[in-house]
Amino acid sequence: MRIALLGQAAFGADVFKALHPRYDIVGVFCPPDAPKGKVDPLKEAALAANVPVWQPRRMKDPEAFEAMKKLAADLAILAFVTDIVPGRVLDLPRLGSICYHPSLLPKHRGASAINWAIIEGDTKTGLTIFWVDEGIDTGDILLQKEVDIDPDDTTGTVYFNKLYPLGIEAIVEAVDLIAAGKAPRIPQDHSKATYEPPCDDKVADINWSQPGRVVYNFIRGCDPQPGATTTFRGEKVKFFNAKYIPLAHGAAAGEILAVAPQGLTIAVAEGAITVGRLRTKGLGKVKAEEFIKALDPQVGERFGS
């Protein structure tokens, strides 16, 4: 089976290594090289295996269509693709195209599925390998894998510790099913679909008026990117490495309850959070101890005021 692999970064590279040389990967598509000549890991892996690489500026560019057409691939695999791939490219492979998505579709369609699962307080999530169609994460399901979201998980821990390794295994399993002629096409129940916007700085501001655990879920859902954002002394601050503490207090939400090298303890409704890392424009991303040394925050001062 001739495979075209579309992807990028470490995940794309690890998918490539898992499939090659078990299957005939006839071409790889990845984004153009980053500034300062940093080579994408997927490109490196492909070149090391003497597999042709294409790096169109956009997958909708004519060169991408022509390259895919010449490959005469049986199957295309999308492994961490952030560009929009047009239908005419996806339809070229004889058996179609499949895609990895880090949620249990049809829930959490969109680019920030893991973030929103945590922000919304889900206790389970997973991954879906689906047959790509013209919609956004709307295609028929090939297979799914479920994982738990632990109470202190962040977007980073769910992805790197759970969905990253499981995703590579799932893609290989999906390709094996396709090669054996046993791959299902299970229509999604579109009535149960949810779709959230990208979790970026536009939506990353902490709402201190919400319940404490909601605030905490928001912070861990924005960790490591984009970082839940608030203000301190009029300047933007982002929170990371937070923990929730059930704690009775009479303080206003956002008020500093304790200052210690291991973290700042900050009041939320019906509890508190400790923040172990913070990012500011001047300091960058630093441990709480460095933030404290630089700015000398005091008990009683408030974030977000």
Among residues 192, 221, 248, the one where a domain terminates is 192
Asked if 80 and 228 sit in the same domain, the reply is: no
Model confidence pLDDT, tens digit, residues 138-167: 999 999 999 999 999 999 999 999 999 999
Asked if 57 and 176 sit in the same domain, the reply is: yes
**Residue showing tokens 């047009």:** 86
Instruction: Please list the helix, strand and coil fractions of the chain in percent, rounded to the nearest 5, in that order.
Output: 30, 30, 40
Banded pLDDT at 134 (limits 50, 70, 90): confident
Check residue 38 and give its pLDDT: 87
Taking the chain, what is the end-to-end CA distance rounded to the nearest angstrom? 60
Helices 41-48 and 9-19: crossing angle, nearest 10°?
30
User: Is residue 16 over pLDDT 90?
Assistant: yes
Model confidence pLDDT, tens digit, residues 84-122: 999 999 999 999 999 999 999 999 999 999 999 999 999
pTM of the model: 0.96
CB 140, CB 186: distance < 8 Å: yes
Check residue 218 and give its pLDDT: 98
Q: What is the CATH number of the domain that holds 229?
A: 3.10.25.10
Mean model confidence pLDDT for the chain: 97
Query: How far apart are alpha carbons 6 and 53 in whole angstroms?
Result: 10
Does residue 240 lie within any of the structural domains?
yes
CB 131, CB 105: distance < 8 Å: no
Banded pLDDT at 36 (limits 50, 70, 90): confident
Asked if 165 and 261 sit in the same domain, the reply is: no
| Mean local confidence (pLDDT), 26-40 | 91
Does residue 119 lie within any of the structural domains?
yes
Asked if 133 and 76 sit in the same domain, the reply is: yes
Does residue 90 lie within any of the structural domains?
yes
Does residue 263 lie within any of the structural domains?
yes
Asked if 26 and 144 sit in the same domain, the reply is: yes
Check residue 34 and give its pLDDT: 85
* Strands of 97-101's sheet in order across: 53-54, 24-29, 2-7, 75-79, 97-101, 124-131, 141-148
Q: What is the CATH number of the domain that holds 172?
A: 3.40.50.170
Q: Could you give the angle at the alpha carbon of 165 between the alpha carbons of 162 and 167, nearest 5°?
A: 95
- Total domains in the fold of the chain: 2
Model confidence pLDDT, tens digit, residues 184-232: 999 999 999 999 999 999 999 999 999 999 999 999 999 999 999 999 9
Query: How far apart are alpha carbons 188 and 91 in whole angstroms?
Result: 20
Check residue 37 and give its pLDDT: 77
Range of the domain at 105: 2-192
Among residues 192, 209, 224, the one where a domain terminates is 192
Banded pLDDT at 3 (limits 50, 70, 90): very high
Model confidence pLDDT, tens digit, residues 232-271: 999 999 999 999 999 999 999 999 999 999 999 999 999 9
Asked if 155 and 213 sit in the same domain, the reply is: no
Asked if 164 and 244 sit in the same domain, the reply is: no
Among residues 192, 216, 237, the one where a domain terminates is 192
